[in-house]
Amino acid sequence: QKEVEQNSGPLSVPEGAIASLNCTYSDRGSQSFFWYRQYSGKSPELIMSIYSNGDKEDGRFTAQLNKASQYVSLLIRDSQPSDSATYLCAVNWARGGATNKLIFGTGTLLAVQP
């Protein structure tokens, strides 16, 4: 089992729709969860962080965390063509204590169709 798993996609959604990106992780001790957006040829850009169970909203983005199910998701409302990118789920590696070591999923490629 991979430590952080994401569907590689591509996930294709029409402009204006809701894009739903999912991620599961294996380390039950993880406490910090992040979503990064990476455009082709660029470095990852942090778009959301979540630490507690439930939902966290920031503009068009909502992160959802369920530690019991070891599941974290990202919803993008009113998707725009400019949202087309690879979305990386990252989880802090907590074995041995809290760390800044992030384990990344392979990323989900999102394509928003105009």
Could you list the residues that contact other proteins (CB under 8 A)?
32, 34, 36, 42-46, 49, 88, 90, 92-93, 98-107
Which are the contacts of 102, defined by CB distance < 8 A and separation ≥ 6? Answer: 34, 90, 91, 92, 93
Closest distance between other proteins and the C-beta of residue 55, in Å? Answer: 18
Of 28 and 81, nearer to other proteins (C-beta) is: 28
Of 34 and 79, nearer to other proteins (C-beta) is: 34
- CA-to-CA distance for 34 and 92, rounded, in angstroms? 9
Of 79 and 86, nearer to other proteins (C-beta) is: 86
Strand order in the sheet with 4-6: 4-6, 19-25, 71-76, 61-66, 54-58
Give one word for 29, left, alpha or beta, with left for phi > 0 and alpha for psi -120 to 50: alpha
Closest distance between other proteins and the C-beta of residue 38, in Å? Answer: 9
Q: In the chain, what is the straight-line distance between the N-terminal and C-terminal CA atoms, in Å?
A: 36
Closest distance between other proteins and the C-beta of residue 31, in Å? Answer: 9
Of 44 and 79, nearer to other proteins (C-beta) is: 44
Closest distance between other proteins and the C-beta of residue 8, in Å? Answer: 10
